[in-house]
Amino acid sequence: MLKDKSILLIISGGIAAYKALELIRLIRKDGAKVRCILTKGGEQFVTPLSVASLSENEVYTDLWSLKDETEMGHIRLSREADLIIVAPASADLMAKMANGYANDLASTCLLASDTHILAAPAMNHKMWDNPATQGNIKTLRDRGILFSGPDAGDMACGEHGIGRLSEPENILDSVRNFFRYKDALKGVRAVVTSGPTYEPIDPVRFIGNRSSGKQGQAIAEALSLAGADVHLITGPVSLPPPAVKQITRVETALEMLDAVEADLPFEIFIGTAAVSDWRANDLAQQKIKKDGTNVPELKLTENPDILKIVANHKTHRPALVIGFAAETENLQENARNKVNKKSCDWLLANNVAAEKKVFGTDENHVMLFQTNTDGHEDWGQMTKSSLAQKLVSKIIEELKNGEKNDTSTILAAE
């Protein structure tokens, strides 16, 4: 997959640096050549000898090394790579990147680079949450730096939160994806809805559902890696924000609809959100009190169907409108009815019965239904990230073939 590719891997300081060794092994196994820069911080966690042994290449550590500069100057080091990966990307190195520092070999190469950069951040969760780090991440994202992770979970320091380095296999997936779809969707605008909606009953209670946002965010990230301008509109979730151009956080179905409509026109719409079908008729201004005798009656109003509204838009219907169907029974029959009723182009149906473990997990199993086509494709059990990649490659094929709504004009000429 990565045959003939040349990767420059920058390993900065952090306990997760040991995972970079596995990353080198995986990338090389996939066929790419790996050169490594080890920062002074990185050297505290892994040795140049282990990096050199695994990469079977010289390891570069010093900006001022005469030998390194004569053999492979820092400009050549950054220019000869098809992709620069920074893993782990420490808060310090990303601050340097965001502010244009060039005071060591890693930051100098990054500043001198004219190629794509993929950063896999790793740090303590408070450092990650700090507005200084978040500001730097935003700057880097705006400049087109790609990101893999970070993940949430237990940290080496004993705390828990967002900041763990992505697993090497996931970073490899992002690298493969980058080369497979690089810029295929450049200039294409995509809106992805994700997560649940919360419909308030009173200031304390709401109607919600179990969607975690994992599937929607994986799709948003995969589209972004393929070069699309992605706007993720998400209900309340506790996931780290994905690396996409724009994120809008909403709570209710009405707010989600407003955010979607405000962004029209765009070319691709993917409705992954588990939008509540109903909202409370009246929103109580104060917490509804239990009086021991009467149980309050909850009256509901139907929410607008965002997917249906977008798919039937008179003036700005996107070229591709894709929905999901969450079913617990009669999946095929219900999905077929849904695709016709909502007039979306494709519908990915998943069985969300409790025993199938779709909500909040890392895996899914969908069947694809299309308008005007009988039958369906069974995609089998896969990770949500692989599903997202498969969907994005299908979208790219569809837009290339231009079979639907003259979509061929959407993609820039190759």
Q: Which residues bind ligand PMT (CB under 6 A)?
A: 193, 211-216, 253, 271-275, 277, 303, 305-307, 323-326, 338, 350, 352, 358-360, 384
- Concatenated DSSP letters for 133-182? HHHHHHHHHHTT-EE--PEEEE-TTS-EEEEEPPPHHHHHHHHHHHHHHT
Q: Closest Cα to residue 192, out of 244, 151, 239, 227?
A: 244
Q: Identify the residue whose tokens are 């990915």.
A: 348
Q: Which of residues 55 and 209 has its CB atom nearest to ligand PMT in the complex?
A: 209
Q: What minimum distance in Å lies between the beta carbon of 152 and ligand PMT?
A: 14
How far apart CA 51 and CA 157 sit, in angstroms, is 24
Residues serving a catalytic function are 157
Q: Which is nearer to ligand PMT, 31 or 360 (CB)?
A: 360
Tokens of 359: 């909500």
- Name the minimum Å distance from CB 348 to ligand PMT: 7
**Helical (H) or strand (E) element with 408:** none
**Strand, coil or helix: 186:** coil
Assess contact for 188 and 225: CB atoms under 8 A.
Answer: no
Nearer to ligand PMT, 42 or 195 (CB): 195
C-beta closer to ligand PMT: residue 137 or 347: 347
Cβ 49 to ligand PMT shortest distance, Å: 42
> How far is it, in rounded angstroms, from Cα 236 to Cα 125?
20
For residue 12, the minimal CB distance to ligand PMT (Å) is 31
Distance CA 22, CA 264 (A): 43
Shortest spacing between CB 399 and ligand PMT, in angstroms: 20
Nearer to ligand PMT, 90 or 212 (CB): 212
Report, in Å, the least distance between residue 274 CB and ligand PMT: 4
Buried/exposed code over 79-109 (b: 16+ C-beta within 10 A; e: otherwise) = eebbbbbbbbbbbbbbbbbbeebeebbbbbb
- Which is closer to ligand PMT, CB of 133 or CB of 234? 234
